């Protein structure tokens, strides 16, 4: 006689998260994907048919391909800049001995996240715009005749995005770096390695999981950003989330918006898997070495 | 001597009062205690609506009003079933009302039978360019800084003055109806008419470099910060700063001003359609029109509104002034919107 199979207690603990993921990610994504292959809105029109025309339209018009490229480029540059700025900060935060200093630095990293993205973006507008703090000061001092093009372009968009998303990088990296045993670096240095070499050959490889997680997080947030590119990019920046918003909120073409969303997700997943794969190989090589 | 109240007399009095009530407001006689779901704007408009206008409506019509102020409304209406719409009354600008009408999400035509106060409206408010009933309009013209040595603009073409390069303001055309209206007007100014898109694209190219914003409130900020010294904007976006000593002014170009209509319409599947028509009729009452017009500097669509002198001097509330309003054929524009959006994106990015 077979004994009844028992459900693991871990499964019960994971079940709420799984249900949440199902209800608030898979189901909405499924609806979006379904809309993207329908000829109309099934809620309003009963006689909709399956069609691939929304994908044909996207792939057949260079505007959308250029927008996809622009989205990925802004995402990649933002991620790289956030990593370069965030790594030293995360290292400092992880290795700080003073509990008070650690708390203050942690608060400094988290504080911007307590303000909304729209407010932070408007703050950047007051700094980077043609009449903003930087240009007004330089023009007022007679150092400039015309304002520097600090916003209404990709530069302004990336600056604001990096500021908004760098805390995600720092917090992710600090957790990983904090778990690396400092004695490994000390051992490397006691064997003659310089501090820089000890960092490059010991700490940096061991923090690769944090770099991977932080980069994926920032990249995902940056390529899906809507408000900041809209406010900072002016006429020169057109990303896929902006086009998706236009289709939903102004053109009211949910099907085409769905197709753009599916393509953005598919391309992002491919890039993320490739990035994961490359970093994984690097980490394994370091392990063997 | 104390009056005696007989049962028959009481019933008769109640019956008479009820009959008068029904005759007075036939549409809402059966809609008492119902819930009316509407959309409306936020900001000062929303404050007056929620603080004064809607409570008075609820009290008089013995109903509850549920308000959605989270724009955009049309995607939410699209996502709800036609026979159980998320709204009973859709308040939107004319371009969106046309899209809703084409999709069958709002009724095709509203007449005086449903909304008696329609007879008091200027013709533009229910013209063939409107899907629904216009309750107010703003005039889209040119806003400019008065402290930058500019000659006040007299023509729309003044926006193309080379001296304004990089300091003129417009809108993200795909998402803003002021930008869309201005694009069509460019066709009329520089080409054969509103539908001459090739001329409009060429004229748009000449306006570069131009600073673009996605909503009108942001254009106000750009003008106030002198980030833009002249830009396309509606009159209420400038007049609302009256008395605050701000160096900005509104100019109505000689070619006419574009009409930015606030339009109400009813959803065909509404379960409280009579109450919905009653709401539109209520919004057209002279006292309600005056209150809202003077709160946000919108021109009332009703001819029977007497505004205070300072509003009367500036708003479009006489037949002569109303004749200057240029209305857009949104049905025509919406049919070409995708093509226009793609073309405009290329022009402005390149």
Residues B176-219 have pLDDT tens digits of: 999 999 999 999 999 999 999 999 999 999 999 999 998 888 99
Contact criterion met (CB < 8 Å) for B75 and A248: yes
CA dist B123 and A35 (Å) reads 41
Distance from CA of A131 to the nearest CA of B (A): 6
pLDDT of A52 over the 90 cut: yes
Distance from CA of A106 to the nearest CA of B (A): 34
B143 touches B231 (CB < 8 A) = yes
Note the Cα B220 to chain centre separation in Å.
Answer: 18
Contact criterion met (CB < 8 Å) for B341 and A246: yes
Is B346 an interface residue toward A (CB < 8 Å)?
yes
- What local confidence, expressed as pLDDT, does residue A2 receive? 53
- What local confidence, expressed as pLDDT, does residue B9 receive? 46
Is B349 an interface residue toward A (CB < 8 Å)?
yes
Q: Nearest by CB to B75, which of A130, A234, A252?
A: A252
Tell me which DSSP letter residue B298 carries: P
Does residue B209 have a cis peptide bond before it, meaning omega lies within 30 degrees of 0? Answer: yes
- What local confidence, expressed as pLDDT, does residue A235 receive? 73
Q: E-assigned strands of chain A?
A: none
- What local confidence, expressed as pLDDT, does residue A286 receive? 62
A278 pLDDT band, cuts 50/70/90, is: confident
Q: Determine the 3-state secondary structure of B299 from DSSP.
A: strand
Q: How many helices (H) and strands (E) does chain A have?
A: 15, 0
pLDDT single digits (tens) A184-198: 999 999 999 999 999
* Chain B positions in Cβ-Cβ contact with residue A253 (cut-off 8 Å): 338
* Chain A positions in Cβ-Cβ contact with residue B103 (cut-off 8 Å): 44, 252
For β-strands B299-300 and B133-145, DSSP reports them as: antiparallel
B204 touches B182 (CB < 8 A) = no
Tell me the average pLDDT of chain B.
Answer: 91
Q: Start-end ranges of CATH 3.40.190.10 in chain B?
A: 21-137+260-317, 139-258+330-349
* Chain A positions in Cβ-Cβ contact with residue B72 (cut-off 8 Å): 248-250
Which helix (H) or strand (E) segment is B47 a member of?
helix B43-48
Distance from CA of A215 to the nearest CA of B (A): 29
Q: In sequence order, what DSSP letters do the residues of B110-147 get, joined into one string? A: --TTT-GGGGGB-GGGGSTT-SSEEEEEEEEEEEEESS
CATH class of B21-137+260-317: alpha beta
Is B172 an interface residue toward A (CB < 8 Å)?
yes
* Chain A positions in Cβ-Cβ contact with residue B164 (cut-off 8 Å): none
Query: For A129-248, where are the alpha helices, taking DSSP H only?
Result: 133-140, 154-178, 182-190, 195-198, 204-206, 208-223, 227-233, 240-245
* Chain A positions in Cβ-Cβ contact with residue B211 (cut-off 8 Å): 152, 234-235
Average pLDDT estimate for B58-84: 94
Is B247 an interface residue toward A (CB < 8 Å)?
no
Q: Nearest by CB to B345, which of A129, A131, A238?
A: A238
CA dist B218 and A23 (Å) reads 36
Q: List B residues 197-216 in contact with A (Cβ-Cβ < 8 A).
A: 208, 210-212, 214
CATH number of the domain at A62-288, please? 1.10.3720.10
Q: Helix A62-95 crosses helix A208-223 at what angle (to 10 degrees)?
A: 140
Neighbours of B266 (CB within 10 A): 26
Neighbours of B54 (CB within 10 A): 21
Picking from A34, A145, A235 by the largest number of B CB atoms within 10 A of its own CB, the best residue to mutate is A235
Which of these CATH numbers, 3.30.70.360, 1.10.3720.10, 3.40.50.700, 3.40.190.10, describes B139-258+330-349? 3.40.190.10
Using alpha carbons, list the distances in angstroms from residue B340 to B179, B207, B333: 12, 17, 9
Average pLDDT estimate for A7-28: 90
Structural tokens at position B246: 């701000």
Q: List B residues 61-80 in contact with A (Cβ-Cβ < 8 A).
A: 72, 74-75, 78-80
B48 or B13: which leads in pLDDT: B48
Q: Determine the 3-state secondary structure of B148 from DSSP.
A: coil
pLDDT of B30 over the 60 cut: no
Contact pairs from chain A to chain B, CB under 8 Å = 67
Average pLDDT estimate for B13-31: 45
- What's the ipTM? 0.78
* Chain B positions in Cβ-Cβ contact with residue A152 (cut-off 8 Å): 211
B236 pLDDT band, cuts 50/70/90, is: very high
- Ramachandran sector of residue B7 (left: φ over 0; alpha: ψ -120 to 50; beta: rest): alpha
Domain boundaries defined on chain A: 18-51, 62-288
Nearest CA in chain B to A230: B214
Neighbours of A41 (CB within 10 A): 16
Tell me the torsion sign for CA atoms B231, B234, B237, B241. positive
Q: Determine the 3-state secondary structure of A143 from DSSP.
A: coil
B5 pLDDT band, cuts 50/70/90, is: very low
Distance from CA of B176 to the nearest CA of A (A): 8
* Chain A positions in Cβ-Cβ contact with residue B82 (cut-off 8 Å): 44
Nearest CA in chain A to B337: A251
């Amino acid at each position: 006689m077979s004994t009844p199979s028992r459900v693991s207690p871990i499964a019960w603990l994971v079940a709420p998260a799984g249900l949440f993921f199902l209800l608030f990610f898979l189901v909405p994504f499924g609806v979006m994907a379904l809309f993207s292959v329908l000829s109309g809105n099934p809620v309003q029109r009963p006689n909709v048919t399956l069609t691939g025309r929304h994908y044909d339209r996207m792939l057949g018009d260079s505007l959308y391909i250029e927008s996809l490229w622009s989205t990925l480029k802004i995402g990649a540059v933002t991620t790289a800049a956030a990593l370069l700025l965030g790594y030293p900060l995360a290292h400092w935060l992880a290795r700080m001995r003073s509990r008070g200093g650690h708390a203050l630095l942690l608060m400094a990293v988290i504080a911007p996240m307590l303000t909304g993205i729209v407010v932070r973006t408007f703050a950047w507008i007051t700094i980077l715009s043609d009449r903003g703090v930087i240009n007004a000061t330089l023009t007022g001092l007679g150092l400039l005749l015309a304002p520097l093009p600090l916003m209404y372009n990709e530069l302004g968009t990336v600056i604001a995005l990096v500021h908004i998303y760098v805390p995600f990088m720092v917090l992710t990296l600090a957790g990983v770096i904090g778990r690396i045993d400092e004695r490994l670096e000390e051992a490397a240095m006691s064997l003659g390695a310089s501090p820089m070499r000890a960092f490059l050959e010991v700490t940096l490889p061991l923090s690769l999981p944090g770099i991977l997680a932080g980069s994926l997080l920032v990249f995902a947030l940056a390529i899906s950003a809507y408000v900041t590119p809209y406010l900072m990019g002016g006429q020169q920046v057109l990303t896929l989330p902006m086009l998706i918003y236009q289709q939903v909120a102004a053109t009211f073409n949910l099907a085409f918006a769905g197709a753009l969303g599916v393509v953005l997700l598919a391309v992002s997943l491919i890039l993320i898997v490739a990035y994961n794969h490359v970093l994984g190989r690097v980490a394994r090589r370091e392990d063997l070495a | 001597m104390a009056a005696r109240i007989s049962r028959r007399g009481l019933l008769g009095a109640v019956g008479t009062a009820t009959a008068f009530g029904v005759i007075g407001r036939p549409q809402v006689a059966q809609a008492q205690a119902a819930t009316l779901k509407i959309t409306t704007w936020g900001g000062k408009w929303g404050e007056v609506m929620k603080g004064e206008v809607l409570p008075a409506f609820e009290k008089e019509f013995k109903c509850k009003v549920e308000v959605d102020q989270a724009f955009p409304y049309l995607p939410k209406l699209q996502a709800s079933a036609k026979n159980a719409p998320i709204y009973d009354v859709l308040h939107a600008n004319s371009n969106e009302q046309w899209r809703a009408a084409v999709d069958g999400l709002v009724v095709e035509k509203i007449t005086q039978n449903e909304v008696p106060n329609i007879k008091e409206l200027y013709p533009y408010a229910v013209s063939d360019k409107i899907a629904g009933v216009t309750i107010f309009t703003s005039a889209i013209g040119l806003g400019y800084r008065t402290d930058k040595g500019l000659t006040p603009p007299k023509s729309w073409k003044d926006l193309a003055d080379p001296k304004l390069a990089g300091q003129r303001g417009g809108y993200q055309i795909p998402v803003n109806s002021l930008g869309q209206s201005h694009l069509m007007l460019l066709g009329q100014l520089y080409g054969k008419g509103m539908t001459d898109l090739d001329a409009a694209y060429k004229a748009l190219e000449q306006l570069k470099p131009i600073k673009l914003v996605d909503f009108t409130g942001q254009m106000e900020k750009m003008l106030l910060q002198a980030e833009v010294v002249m830009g396309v904007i509606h009159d209420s976006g400038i007049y609302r700063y009256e008395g605050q000593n701000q160096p900005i002014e509104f100019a109505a170009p000689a070619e006419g001003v574009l009409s930015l209509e606030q339009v109400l319409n009813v959803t065909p599947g509404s379960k409280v359609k009579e109450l919905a028509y009653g709401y539109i009729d209520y919004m057209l009452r002279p006292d309600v029109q005056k209150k809202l017009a003077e709160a946000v500097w919108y021109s009332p669509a009703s001819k029977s509104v007497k505004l205070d002198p300072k509003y009367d001097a500036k708003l479009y509330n006489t037949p002569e002034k109303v004749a200057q309003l240029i209305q857009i054929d949104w049905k025509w524009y919406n049919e070409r919107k995708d093509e226009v959006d793609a073309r405009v994106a290329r022009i402005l990015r390149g």
